[in-house]
Amino acid sequence: MGAPPYARIVADIKRRIADGKLRPGERVPSTRQLARDWGVALATAAKALTLLAQEGVVVAEPRVGTVVAELRGGRGAEPRGGRGAQSGGTARRSSLPEHELARERIVRAAIEIADAEGLAELTMRALAVRLGMATMSLYRHVGGKEDLVLLMFDAAIEDFPLPAEPPAGWRAVLETSARLQWAAYRRHPWMAGITPLSRPLPSAGLLKHSEWVMAALAGTRLDATAKMNLQILVYSYVQGIAANIELERRARAATGLTDEEWLSVQGGRMRAITESGRYPAFAEFLAELGDFDLDLDRLFEFGLRPLLDGLAAIVEGR
């Protein structure tokens, strides 16, 4: 029996890379193009690209697409932290003990995989392949995937550090915390889906935000329960919107369709429903709305100020 279609696609792309027909940094065929060229389902083409990413052969570049991974030691091996995280990073890392240097390298490589393919695709085996290490050697530096994910979360949130001094007033503190968390989720979408609110992470990075918020609320009229609820509301507002970034990535990998392409496919069904006469108010609203671009950054901005306005009524007793 011959190899399954997805395996043949994987072998073909590897062969083209080995022959120099696809070079590091160059885009590989998209899911839709592979499905068309090979006469396979979109899910089959997506599985091939996922396997290539797990092996470190390709990486997903935001706003570019899937590209051939750089050779080890190239830019693909560098951390993806923000400017704040990278400034002075070389000097800091050079002073770390060898064990901590190895663990930081492992964590950063794991973040790269999760950024490109999602947390579900991160396995210890895939990580070991990316780093050129034996899988079991990883366990000398991290306790397992659960331990690794917590280290990843802390490293990712530390890429967007809180200012040395908090701004004046509880509202400015909460807004600064929310914006920095949003920036972290925007850079690392997998963070939003790690755990539900009912199972809080023992994260040192998040505890810094909690410390900030509780210090800002210390002089208010709120009791401890109200303070906790207020912090959870702000955190869940940011996390709730950010979760859709990762959900969209998963949907695109599964279907091979962008959100715009998916909406165009569903357009006929939506028109049939709205033109049935059963939902006249919604049909009238859609006619008034016209083309609507769901931009999560704009949605975050749209809701943050009203959220803080509402919390002011609780904190200040307005």
Question: What's residue 292's pLDDT?
Answer: 73
Phi-psi region of 39 (alpha: psi -120 to 50; beta: other; left: phi over 0): left
pLDDT digits over 27-43, tens only? 888 888 888 899 988 77
The residue-averaged pLDDT of 7-29 equals 88
β-strands 65-68, 58-61: how paired? antiparallel
Q: What is the mean pLDDT of residues 281-295?
A: 79
Q: What is the pLDDT of residue 275?
A: 78
Pick 283 or 234 by higher pLDDT: 234
Domain 5-158 CATH class label:
mainly alpha
pLDDT one-digit tens code per residue, 97-134: 566 778 888 999 999 888 888 888 888 888 888 888 78
pLDDT at 98: 61
The burial of 183, by beta-carbon neighbours within 10 Å (0-12 exposed, 13-18 middle, 19 or more buried), is given as middle
Q: What is the mean pLDDT of residues 301-314?
A: 93
| Dihedral sign from CA coordinates of 17, 19, 24, 30 | negative
Q: Which CATH number fits domain 170-315: 1.10.357.10, 3.30.70.20, 3.40.50.2300, 2.60.40.1190?
A: 1.10.357.10
Which residue spans of the chain are classified as CATH 1.10.357.10? Answer: 170-315
Predicted confidence at residue 77, as pLDDT, reads 35
A 10 A CB-CB count for 88 gives 9
Nearest to 137 by CA among 146, 145, 129, 128: 128
The tens digit of pLDDT for each residue in 175-220 reads 999 999 999 999 999 998 888 888 877 888 889 999 999 999 998 9
Q: Kindly give, in sequence order, each residue whose CB lies less than 8 Å from that of residue 125, ignoring residues fewer than 6 positions away.
A: 135
pLDDT band at 227 (very low <50, low <70, confident <90, very high): very high
Residue range(s) of every CATH 1.10.10.60 domain in the chain: 5-158
pLDDT (0 to 100) of residue 62: 52
pLDDT tens per residue across span 140-163 = 888 888 889 999 999 999 889 999
Average pLDDT over residues 38-59: 83
